[in-house]
Amino acid sequence: MPDAKPAFQRILLKLSGEALMGDDAYGINPEVIDRIVGEIKEVSRMGVQIGVVIGGGNIFRGIAPSAVGMDRATADYMGMLVTMMNALSLGDALRRAGVEARVQSALRVDAVAEPYIRGRALRHLEEGKVVIFAAGTGNPFFTTDTGAALRGAEIGAELVL
């Protein structure tokens, strides 16, 4: 088979939290994570650089009742922290599958993830590491869809999925 060159060099994949739940009521379904990791691995092995923005609806939905009546910005910060858990989970699953991955967070959580630094993210991507962008934009009143558009533009992704 002739060496097929991938159509895209760098892509940004947005994974909503709900996509991680599978048929569960909330949380992260291991089979779903494994399937997503398999697909990311396959595309990464083709030489495509992959950034991932991950949502938090799967866990945030579970804690939403406790956020009722809460100050909006505080609830949004909780939502961003939830995306952090998903990012760590995906990063761990990727590494277990033999795919190098780094988590970068828009909120400072130095003990568990790198801060988002664009130049560093670009270097990771060039080295073939999957970069998972956690905490969306880092700002309340936004969603991870905005985070995906923002990071996609910042890293020069040719495609946002």
- Binding to ligand UDP in span 87-146, by CB under 6 A: 136-137, 139-140, 142-146
The answer to whether residue 8 forms part of the interface with ligand UDP (CB under 6 A) is: no
Q: Quick one: 47 or 87, whose CB is closer to ligand UDP?
A: 87
Query: Distance (Å, rounded) from C-alpha 137 to C-alpha 25?
Result: 26
CB-based contacts of 130, cutoff 8 Å, min separation 6? 40, 44, 50, 51, 52, 94, 99, 100, 101, 102
From 76, 91, 93, 102, residue interacting with ligand UDP (rule: CB under 6 A): 76
The answer to whether residue 17 forms part of the interface with ligand UDP (CB under 6 A) is: yes
The answer to whether residue 79 forms part of the interface with ligand UDP (CB under 6 A) is: yes
Query: Distance (Å, rounded) from C-alpha 134 to C-alpha 147?
Result: 9
From 13, 80, 84, 88, residue interacting with ligand UDP (rule: CB under 6 A): 80
Q: Quick one: 13 or 101, whose CB is closer to ligand UDP?
A: 13
φ/ψ of residue 42, rounded to 5: -60, -45
CB-based contacts of 129, cutoff 8 Å, min separation 6? 100, 101, 102
The answer to whether residue 147 forms part of the interface with ligand UDP (CB under 6 A) is: yes
**What DSSP designation does 7 have?**
S
The answer to whether residue 71 forms part of the interface with ligand UDP (CB under 6 A) is: no
Query: Distance (Å, rounded) from C-alpha 144 to C-alpha 159?
Result: 16
From 10, 13, 37, 56, residue interacting with ligand UDP (rule: CB under 6 A): 56
Q: Which residues bind ligand UDP (CB under 6 A)?
A: 16-18, 55-57, 60, 76, 79-80, 83, 136-137, 139-140, 142-147
